[in-house]
Amino acid sequence: MDREDRQRLIERMGEAVHQTRVAYQRAKEDFHRIPESDLQGPDGKFTFDQALVRERQAFAAAKRALFDYNRFVIDGKIPGRD
CA distances from 77 to 16, 30, 74 (A): 16, 35, 8
Mean predicted lDDT score pLDDT of the chain: 91
Q: Domain of 28?
A: 3-75
Closest CA to 17 of 81, 74, 63, 82: 63
Is 80 within a domain? no
- Which CATH number goes with the domain that contains 27? 1.20.58
Report, as an integer, the average pLDDT of 64-75: 95
Report, as an integer, the average pLDDT of 9-22: 97
Is 38 within a domain? yes
Q: pTM of the prediction?
A: 0.84
Total structural domains in the chain? 1
Report, as an integer, the average pLDDT of 20-47: 88
- Residue 16 pLDDT exceeds 70: yes
Closest CA to 30 of 66, 61, 64, 56: 56
Percentage with pLDDT > 90 across the chain = 67
